[in-house]
Amino acid sequence: MQIKAEEISQIIKDQIGEYETSIDLNETGTVISAGDGIARVYGVKNCMAMELLEFPGGIMGLALNLEEDNVGCAILGSVSGIKEGDLVKRTGKIAEVPVGPEMEGRVVDGIGFPIDGQGAINAKLSSKIEVLAPGVIARKGVHEPCYTGAKAVDAMTPVGRGQRELVIGDRQIGKTALCVDAIIAQKDTDVHCVYVAVGQKKSTVALIVEALRKHGAMEYTTVVAACASDPAPMQYVAPFAGTSMGEYFRDNGQHALIVYDDLSKQAVAYRELSLLLRRPPGREAYPGDIFYNHSRLLERSSKVSDELGAGSLTALPIIETQAGDVSAFIPTNVISITDGQVYLEPNLFFSGVRPAINVGLSVSRVGGAAQVKAMKQVAGTLRLDLAQFRELAAFAAFGSDLDAATQAQLTRGERLVEILKQPQYAPLPMEKQVTILYAGANGYLDSLPVETMRDYEDEVFSYIESNDASIFADLKEQEEFTDAIKAKLNTALDAFGETFKATKGLK
């Protein structure tokens, strides 16, 4: 590339010409002590809570503790350049992040600066990091589904737009995978996504961004990454910043989905911050307001009323448990705040049930209100069937002679468990989910061996698409199993069952 010195000189000349001199008028203070991501500042008398303070070198600090003789300040950046006696300037601004459609497709840090090397974000709007959640009048009941693309979740613990559904489980059992699939499932819908990574490895975040990009999900997704190497204050504010970005869509009558991955790391970061600020520790050394920290964050995810545009912000917070201990402090807190939880279990994961959702312990407090009629029709008996199956399976493990009814129930249960399995990065649209669940619930699978379920599912979709695509179209449009659709589907499933058996060499 040819660089013309002449042109560059002209650009600089123009900019100098435009530059207006102004005298800086600042309220200032001095650093008393700095270290561990915290600085104490003397002066800055009129400083506001959550105000940004500017340290030398353009590093920003967040005023958290306003005390009689000093201001306790969390430093959003490297603390190493800050020393005692440094001048601190007030900015007069409460901490805010850029928001708007320009954020989509970008990877930003905890305070909205781009870290993906794609240049500056020219967002026209910015929003405060801490915003009060909408009040009672501004809200509306959750009534439309927000599909996660996972059959087990959408059928048994449905998530509605504006709901907060916790994803909880031990490390390495597919919590992130479930949520990333939920983001990918929003492709071709009007839902915008925000993925907040807190305290994760940079390599993990890079992989997730790569996966989202590969599946075409980055176009409508903002990734907010406060990684393990970022200072604790960044990890603490990142979920709030991400929520502000999601709220932009909610407040403009659009829909958004936000994933917090994960809130236990954010709680740890907040604990670190609080202890350094000498706030008194409570249970598990978490500060007294750790519950408020999570509740005010998650309350911001909501479905707003028609007068305000009927937008929604759906949240999928993730909590990592230690050895399945859901009665620890942070898990119980977040369970009580959210509108239900999806509980992932290591035993299921390692026995090959993936996503490893424990159907018994997972609930959605919004329930059927967030399901379309078709889903209710097929999923109504699913939970009960599975519960009975588990009970019988435990019982049947000891005996061999079983009556026909028990045998039938076991057969049905085994196949239902099998069709609820799903590979990663393959979220299914609603019409396909209900189709396969319909086949399972109506006995179309009972005569087939359990091992063939995976093949059956893959092939039945392509069969219906090529032979009677109107079934999917009708289901998508009418969202219920009418008699006409049932008739068409029954014929298709019968015909496919025959060819499937033939190709597999079954009787």
Partner 1 sequence: MKQIILARRYAKALFAVCKENGKFDEYSDALQGLNGVFASDSSLADSLTNPLYPMDVREKVMEGIVASMGVDKVMGNFLNLLVEKKRAGVLPEIAEEFQIMVDEENNVSHGSVVSAVELSDELQAKVQATLEKLTGKNVKLTTSVDASIIGGVIAKVGDLELDGSIRTQLASLKDSIKGRE
Q: Does 3 interact with partner 1 (rule: CB under 8 A)?
A: no
Give the three-class secondary structure for 224.
Answer: strand
Give the helix/strand (H/E) hosting 318: strand 312-320
161 in Cβ contact with 142 (< 8 Å) = yes
Q: Which is closer to partner 1, CB of 36 or CB of 170?
A: 36
Residues 6 or more apart whose CB falls under 8 angstroms from that of 65 comprise 71, 72, 73, 277, 279
Q: Does 1 interact with partner 1 (rule: CB under 8 A)?
A: no
Strands 87-94 and 51-54: antiparallel
Active-site pick, 139, 279, 296, 365:
365
Q: Which is closer to partner 1, CB of 17 or CB of 505?
A: 17
| Least distance between partner 1 and beta carbon 39 (Å) | 12
357 in Cβ contact with 181 (< 8 Å) = no
Stretch of 23-31, 203-211, 410-418, 481-489 lying at the interface with partner 1 (CB under 8 A): 23-31
Q: Which is closer to partner 1, CB of 23 or CB of 384?
A: 23
- Determine whether 365 is an active site residue: yes
CA 63 to chain centre: 28
| Least distance between partner 1 and beta carbon 117 (Å) | 13
Q: Which amino acid type is present at position 194?
A: V
> Look-up: residue for tokens 């060499």?
505
Give the three-class secondary structure for 108.
Answer: strand
Q: Which is closer to partner 1, CB of 102 or CB of 289?
A: 102
Q: Which is closer to partner 1, CB of 2 or CB of 46?
A: 46
Work out the angle at residue 14's Cα, subtended by the Cα atoms of residues 13 and 18, and round it to the nearest 5 degrees: 120
The dihedral of CA 37, 38, 43, 47: what is its sign? positive
The interface mask with partner 1, positions 410-449, x = CB under 8 A, is ----------------------------------------
Spatial separation of the C-alpha atoms in residues 385 and 370, rounded to whole Å: 21
Q: Does 192 interact with partner 1 (rule: CB under 8 A)?
A: no
Q: Does 24 interact with partner 1 (rule: CB under 8 A)?
A: yes
| Least distance between partner 1 and beta carbon 18 (Å) | 8
The interface mask with partner 1, positions 268-287, x = CB under 8 A, is --------------------
Given 2, 21, 400, 466, the residue binding partner 1 (CB under 8 A): 21
Give the three-class secondary structure for 340.
Answer: strand
Given 1, 3, 25, 397, the residue binding partner 1 (CB under 8 A): 25
The number of residues that bind partner 1 (CB under 8 A) is: 25
The interface mask with partner 1, positions 28-67, x = CB under 8 A, is xx--xx------x-xxxxx---------------------
Q: Quote the tokens at residue 233.
A: 């204050």
Alpha helices in 189-282, H assignment, sequence order: 202-214, 232-251, 263-276
Stretch of 12-20, 136-144, 166-174, 242-250 lying at the interface with partner 1 (CB under 8 A): 12-20
Q: Does 68 interact with partner 1 (rule: CB under 8 A)?
A: yes
Given 12, 49, 387, 426, the residue binding partner 1 (CB under 8 A): 12
Torsion angles phi and psi, residue 82, rounded to 5: -95, 130
Per-residue CA distances from 388 to 344, 364, 504 (Å): 20, 20, 30
Residues 124-183 that bind partner 1 (CB under 8 A): none
Q: Does 487 interact with partner 1 (rule: CB under 8 A)?
A: no
Spatial separation of the C-alpha atoms in residues 337 and 297, rounded to whole Å: 10
Strands 166-169 and 340-343: parallel
Q: Which residues share a beta bridge with 257?
A: 193, 314
Strands (DSSP E) contained in 36-139 are 38-43, 51-54, 60-66, 71-76, 87-94, 96-99, 107-108, 125-128
Q: Which of 296, 227, 303 is nearest to 266 (CA)?
A: 227
The interface mask with partner 1, positions 70-109, x = CB under 8 A, is x----------------x-x--------------------
The interface mask with partner 1, positions 345-384, x = CB under 8 A, is ----------------------------------------
Q: Does 27 interact with partner 1 (rule: CB under 8 A)?
A: yes
Catalytic residue IDs: 365
Residues interacting with partner 1, by CB under 8 A? Answer: 12, 15-16, 19, 21, 23-29, 32-33, 40, 42-46, 68-70, 87, 89
